[in-house]
Amino acid sequence: MNIITKNQTPASRIILGWMRMAKCSAEELEQLVEASLQAGINFFDHADIYGKTESERLFGEVLKKHPKYRDQMIVQTKCGIRPGFYDNSCAHIIASVDASLKRLQTGWLDVLLLHRPDALMDGDEIGKAFNQLKKEGKVRYFGVSNMNTGQMEYLQSRLEEPLLFNQLQFSLVHSSMIDAGIHVNMKTDFGIDRDNQILYHCMKNRITIQAWSVLQASWEEGTFLDHPSYPLLNEVLERLAGHYQVTKSAVALNWILRHPAGMQAIIGTTKTEHINDLAQATTFELTRPEWYELYQSVGKKLP
């Protein structure tokens, strides 16, 4: 990943996601943005559907009050999810970007992602939209979200612009991308290739994976931190947190960042006091034995 802010600052490995920000006040979000930038987190992830557009609007209010922040940031949004269907048509992509720019109160997006695979997506149409947005200076870089290898290869064959990002669910508990690679040719569920080796496709093509739900076990269970269903995982996290003098959440994020794919980790905290704790994930590096110990602490075994 080699994108930079307008003032030549490299993109941070940690991204602050805005999916839940609509419930916060403008003042709280102003403090959250300031704390993030001070902690070295300069990448902000949006989507047109977050908070039914309210998350983007509130971020725009922060930028309106602090226009100097914009050149210090990488602002990313996503489009393509509509009520009851997906829409990656040329017309919808362009209209979505224009609406997002207005809500975000900025003249350009650093990154635009297609939010979900649209079964009816036409690569030539998408290419037309991307070319227009790039030519008009509205979007600098492009990517996708939740797409597999075949979908990315198809789109890239029709696009002039490189796809630089893919947002995928990945964590200590949700690690199918890793499982399939470890259990190659094994007659176990862990050996099932669920995404056509998307991890290695991204690594081969230098596409940055942006991991989402990095601290979540499932929608039903919530976070795996201190969850009674994951006692050994939390025991190992606690021990390593003490060793590195960081929080358990920072250890869980470092497990993602430690992978040679060079992933980014999307955090969703709405609490200013948690920003520095999570930013600690970039201050140390788990050893190989520690990384594998964490992997196996959720009940997975090496073949």
For the chain, domain boundaries: 14-296
Sign for the pseudo-dihedral over CA of 146, 152, 156, 161: positive
Query: Quick check: is 154 catalytic?
Result: no
Given this model, what pLDDT does residue 8 score? 87
Is 245 buried (19+), middle (13-18) or exposed (0-12) by CB count in 10 A?
Answer: exposed
Catalytic residue among 50, 141, 230, 244: 50
Q: What is the distance between the alpha carbons of residues 52 and 283, in angstroms, rounded to a whole number?
A: 35
In tens, the pLDDT along 251-279 reads 999 999 999 999 999 999 999 999 999 99
pLDDT at residue 4, rounded to an integer: 86
Query: pLDDT tens for residues 137-176?
Result: 999 999 999 999 999 999 999 999 999 999 999 999 999 9
Residue 26: both structure tokens together: 């403008």
Walking along the chain (303 residues) 10 residues at a time, the average pLDDT comes out as 84 96 93 97 98 96 96 97 98 98 97 98 98 98 98 97 97 96 91 93 97 94 96 98 98 98 96 95 98 97 93
Rounded to 5 degrees, what angle do the CA atoms 294, 177, 45 make?
90
1 contacts 203 by C-beta, under 8 angstroms: no
- On whether the CB atoms of residues 3 and 208 are closer than 8 A, the answer is no
pTM summary value: 0.96
Please name the CATH architecture into which domain 14-296 falls: Alpha-Beta Barrel (3.20)
At 209, give phi and psi (nearest 5°).
Answer: -85, 130
Task: Please say whether the beta carbons of 43 and 14 come within 8 A.
Answer: yes
Buried b (16+ CB within 10 A) or exposed e, 108-145: bbbbbbbbbbbeebeeebbbbbbeebbeeebbbbbbbb
State the distance between the two ends of the chain, measured CA to CA, in whole angstroms.
Answer: 32
